[in-house]
């Protein structure tokens, strides 16, 4: 009892002394905003100069510093803005600091212990500032180590490759826009189907990504990592652009500011955006790809403490597809596998076609999506913040695909139709409290979210090339709910940052009036040490889970419902010299069971898997106007416990790299040359087939002035012959007497040039 009293007395003395010491400090509060849009600047660095204290702004642009005197000299910096130094006097009121746009300078990059474990923020900010983008594909390729591919016409969601995963169309990557999920659960074509074509690239303000299952606010699909895009709250100018290029390619896009500058000064913004795309692609069988997009956003600062946002978007797409073609269809003497699994040389194809030819002209599809999002951001005072978001999506999907041709049906062929109609509703809520104690900041967060998907007539059926119905493979309505709660604590003290949290996910799966439920808990821990303003080390560790499809859960074909995923990263952020920034990490990921989704939507049972690798990214400013970037990503994906040289994972990337040079001159000339490299990798789990690697170079140049811009983009500058996508397929062509197991492929675009003219007003 005596010891307990002594301990309590000591604790009281400690906290009294701490409170007294903190009371001697003067609290400086501020908010950093953009000069043109009046919107907050997140992650701006704030340095107090003589005292040496630093911090960064939060999502609302706010910062707080405890300093020993009533006056301070603050230096505020951020990539793409002119550094500003101001003398401030403590009045207990929040200071508004307006940053002006300026030249990009890597000296502005801040390595700070306050960055809340966001190791990739610097990379995303720099790349988005330097790289001109005019498609959702361009935006996805900005993520280091993330590769994408199309293989069934331009209207499908991209195939995603990242961190040793063939992530199908999003099974292992959590994708969202403005906090709204893009991934479709229990999609008829593949779990986690993430179609980003509804996103107009000119509306994107920032993007955020993370590798591994280490984030409490990210659950389903977050095995390899997550990717979130945030749209602009306000425009700095309106714009109309027109593009035209080879293969009958045409695009027109526009962003129109709807309110006056006076409304912006009062915290009110509204704009609309739209685009129309058309292309035939490089294929002999023209794609006739058409896409319409509309987007609108309204934001208003209701008062000092409350800000609302309303977002609405809609898109529709139709296209024809050349599809995947077997290697033997375009060349003689290719290697395949016979019925006994032994290699043999295929004779000349009965009816050889070109690389850009087609075998089944009935392939293609159409899809549409409508999104509505409402947000309320509330400052509850005393360092409490609350965020609320509700969203609704209506979605339709139809795809006709044939990869096997006559292997399964020698009379009618292998044409398959996949379709679904879906409604999705959801809510995300989060409350955050920041506590300042002398040299420490404690950030406490709690969140809750729910999502409910209703599909109507999810169907996978066999049809003829004339779309005549033959029989159902899968047919039924799906109801799926995922509700989550999480808590997260981050303590930043001196050079150390400690983060720990846990997430609970509840799933309710219903298919054919059968219901199953599952609860899974996912703890996370992250530690960061900032040795100085040049180098920072971090350790991330956490548990997540591999996503699952309601059809599989109800069928229970020897699958785990939500198999666990365990991962760890050991990395660093380093600025050895002022104009060089390096991020590198060693990582490991283990999955209790992995699901593989084939092209026709079937789910193939997988075993335990493990991946380990190295990620390396560097950004270097050679001169005031010239920038270099390099990303190298190595991975060793394998079935766990497999013998050396065995247990390969089909199509899983093992070595990828991207890089290039970008220039941005004061006279308005800007652009760059870049490459992307995918190393050859196993085409199947026995490594008896190979998915060929490729090296592709792109070039962009623009002349940008205050009122207009003229640009040229060239994809595949060197006109290399490459395969954008390859996969093992058992197929049988007309004239063949038996099915053949061989790689089928979709060719990558040949030399492709397009011009762009934009007008700003």
Specify the CATH number for the domain of residue 37: 2.60.40.1120
| Same structural domain, 74 and 183 | no
Is position 262 within any domain? yes
| Same structural domain, 432 and 486 | yes
Task: Tell me the pairing of strands 95-99 and 26-34.
Answer: parallel
Per-residue pLDDT, 88: 85
| Same structural domain, 349 and 296 | yes
Centre a 10 Å sphere on the Cβ of residue 339 and count the other Cβ atoms it contains: 10
Task: Provide the Cα torsion 138, 143, 148, 153; round to 10°.
Answer: -30
Is position 14 within any domain? no
| Same structural domain, 96 and 143 | no
Centre a 10 Å sphere on the Cβ of residue 1 and count the other Cβ atoms it contains: 5
481 close to 451: Cβ distance less than 8 angstroms: yes
Query: DSSP for 539-570?
Result: EEEEEEE----HHHHHHTSS--SS-EEEEEEE
In 3D space, the residue among 253, 280, 126 whose CA is nearest the CA of residue 199 turns out to be 253
- When divided into structural domains, the chain yields a total of 2
For the chain, residues with pLDDT lower than 70 are 1-25, 50-52, 115-119, 332-352, 557-558, 597-605, 644-645
Residue carrying the six token digits 């001109």 = 132
Is position 112 within any domain? no
> Which residue range forms the structural domain that includes residue 450?
121-760
| Same structural domain, 162 and 47 | no
Query: Residue 414 and residue 419: Cα distance in Å, rounded?
Result: 16
Q: What is the CATH number of the domain that holds 417?
A: 2.40.170.20
Letter string b/e over residues 525-535, b meaning 16 or more CB atoms within 10 A of that residue's CB: bbebbbeeeee
| Chosen domain end from 73, 102, 131 | 102
- Residue 214 tokens read as 């280490």
| Same structural domain, 70 and 191 | no
Complete edge-to-edge strand list for the sheet that includes strand 84-89? 54-56, 45-47, 71-77, 84-89
Is position 109 within any domain? no
Query: Residue 157 and residue 182: Cα distance in Å, rounded?
Result: 10
Query: Residue 508 and residue 497: Cα distance in Å, rounded?
Result: 36
Residue 578's alpha-carbon distances to 42, 46, 54, 582, 637, in angstroms, are 22, 17, 17, 11, 36
733 close to 353: Cβ distance less than 8 angstroms: no
Query: Residue 187 and residue 419: Cα distance in Å, rounded?
Result: 9
| Same structural domain, 647 and 730 | yes
Query: DSSP for 288-316?
Result: -EEEEEEEEEEEEE-SSSEEEEEEEEEEE
| Same structural domain, 69 and 163 | no
Per-residue pLDDT, 6: 53
| Chosen domain end from 102, 133, 158 | 102
| Same structural domain, 53 and 140 | no
Alpha-carbon Rg for the chain in angstroms: 27
Q: Is 129 helix (H, G, I), strand (E, B) or coil?
A: helix
Is position 175 within any domain? yes
Per-residue pLDDT, 217: 96
Is position 185 within any domain? yes
Chain-centroid distance of CA 455 in Å reads 25
- Residue 492 tokens read as 């930043």
Is position 2 within any domain? no
- Residue 463 tokens read as 């049809």
| Same structural domain, 70 and 146 | no
Query: Residue 186 and residue 475: Cα distance in Å, rounded?
Result: 13
Burial class (CB in 10 A: 0-12, 13-18, 19+), 262: exposed
| Chosen domain end from 74, 102, 130 | 102
- Whole-prediction pTM value? 0.92
Is position 574 within any domain? yes
| Same structural domain, 633 and 502 | yes
Query: Residue 199 and residue 203: Cα distance in Å, rounded?
Result: 8
Half-sphere exposure of 629 (CA within 13 A, CB side): 26
φ, ψ (nearest 5 deg) of residue 711: -140, 155
DSSP 237: S
CA angle, residues 169, 514, 609, in degrees to nearest 5? 40
| Same structural domain, 744 and 628 | yes
Query: Residue 641 and residue 664: Cα distance in Å, rounded?
Result: 50
Residue 579's alpha-carbon distances to 13, 114, 394, 575, in angstroms, are 47, 21, 47, 8
- Residue 724 tokens read as 């954008």
Q: Which residues contact 7 (CB under 8 A, 6 or more apart)?
A: none
């Amino acid at each position: 009892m005596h010891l307990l009293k002594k301990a309590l007395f000591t604790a009281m003395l400690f906290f009294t002394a701490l409170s007294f010491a903190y009371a001697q400090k003067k609290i400086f509060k501020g908010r950093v905003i953009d000069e043109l849009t009046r919107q907050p600047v997140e992650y701006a660095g704030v340095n107090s100069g003589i005292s040496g204290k630093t911090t960064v702004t939060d999502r609302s642009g706010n910062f707080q510093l405890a300093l020993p005197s009533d006056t301070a000299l603050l230096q505020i910096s951020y990539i793409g803005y002119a550094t500003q130094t101001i003398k401030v006097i403590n009045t207990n009121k929040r200071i508004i600091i307006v940053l002006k746009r300026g030249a990009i300078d890597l000296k502005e990059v801040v390595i700070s212990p306050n960055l809340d474990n966001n190791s990739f923020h610097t990379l995303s900010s720099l790349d988005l500032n330097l790289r001109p983008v005019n498609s959702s594909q361009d935006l996805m390729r900005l993520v280091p180590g993330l590769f994408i591919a199309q293989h069934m016409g331009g209207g499908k969601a991209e195939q995603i490759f990242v961190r040793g995963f063939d992530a199908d169309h999003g099974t292992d990557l959590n994708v969202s826009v403005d906090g709204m999920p893009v991934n479709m659960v229990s999609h008829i074509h593949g779990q986690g189907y993430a179609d980003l074509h509804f996103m107009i690239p000119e509306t994107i303000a920032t993007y955020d990504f993370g590798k591994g299952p280490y984030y409490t606010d990210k659950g389903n699909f977050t095995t390899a990592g997550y990717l979130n895009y945030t749209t602009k709250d306000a425009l700095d100018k309106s714009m109309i652009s027109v593009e035209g290029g080879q293969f009958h390619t045409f695009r027109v896009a526009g962003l129109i500011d709807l309110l006056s500058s006076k409304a912006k000064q009062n915290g009110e913004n509204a704009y609309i955006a739209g685009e129309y795309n058309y292309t035939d692609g490089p294929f002999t069988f023209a794609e006739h790809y058409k896409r319409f997009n509309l987007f609108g956003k309204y934001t208003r600062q209701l008062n000092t403490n409350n800000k609302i946002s309303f977002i609405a978007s809609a898109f529709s797409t139709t296209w024809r597809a050349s599809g995947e073609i077997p290697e033997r269809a375009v060349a003689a003497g290719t290697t395949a596998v016979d019925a006994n699994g032994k290699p043999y040389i295929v004779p000349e194809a009965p009816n050889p076609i070109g690389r850009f030819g087609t075998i089944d002209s009935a392939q293609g599809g159409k899809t549409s999506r409508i999104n509505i999002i409402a947000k309320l951001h509330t400052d509850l005072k005393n360092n409490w913040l609350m965020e609320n978001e509700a969203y609704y999506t209506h979605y339709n999907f139809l795809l006709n695909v044939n990869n096997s041709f006559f292997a399964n049906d020698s009379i009618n062929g292998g044409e398959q139709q996949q379709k679904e109609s879906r409604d999705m509703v959801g809510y995300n809520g989060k409350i955050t409290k920041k506590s300042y104690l002398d040299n420490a900041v404690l950030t406490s967060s709690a969140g809750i979210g729910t999502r409910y998907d209703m599909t109507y007539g999810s169907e996978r059926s066999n049809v003829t090339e004339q779309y005549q119905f033959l029989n159902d493979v899968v047919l039924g309505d799906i109801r799926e709910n995922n509700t989550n709660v999480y808590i997260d604590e981050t303590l930043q003290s001196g050079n150390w940052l400690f983060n720990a949290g846990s997430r609970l996910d509840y799933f309710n799966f219903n298919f054919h009036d059968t219901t199953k439920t599952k609860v899974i808990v996912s703890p996370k821990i992250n530690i960061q040490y900032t040795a100085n303003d040049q180098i920072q080390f971090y350790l991330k560790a956490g548990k997540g889970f591999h996503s699952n499809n309601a059809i599989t859960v109800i069928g229970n074909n020897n699958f785990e419902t939500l198999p666990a995923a365990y991962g760890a990263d050991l990395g660093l952020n380093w600025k050895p010299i002022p104009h060089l920034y390096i991020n590198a990490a060693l990582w490991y990921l283990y999955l209790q069971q992995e699901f593989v989704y084939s092209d026709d939507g079937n789910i193939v049972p997988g075993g335990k898997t493990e991946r380990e690798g190295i990620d390396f990214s560097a950004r270097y400013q050679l001169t005031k106007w010239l920038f270099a970037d390099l990303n190298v990503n190595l991975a060793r994906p394998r079935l766990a416990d497999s013998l050396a040289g065995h247990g390969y994972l089909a199509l899983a990337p093992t070595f990828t790299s991207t890089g290039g040079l970008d220039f941005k001159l004061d006279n308005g000339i800007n652009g760059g040359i870049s490459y992307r490299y995918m190393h050859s990798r196993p085409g199947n789990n026995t490594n008896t087939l190979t998915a060929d690697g490729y090296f592709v170079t792109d070039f962009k140049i623009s002349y940008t002035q205050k009122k207009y811009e003229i640009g040229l983009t060239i994809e595949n500058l060197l006109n290399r012959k490459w395969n954008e996508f390859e996969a093992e397929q058992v197929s049988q062509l007309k004239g063949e007497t038996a099915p053949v197991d061989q790689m089928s492929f979709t060719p990558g675009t040949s030399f492709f040039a397009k011009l762009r003219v934009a007008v700003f007003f």
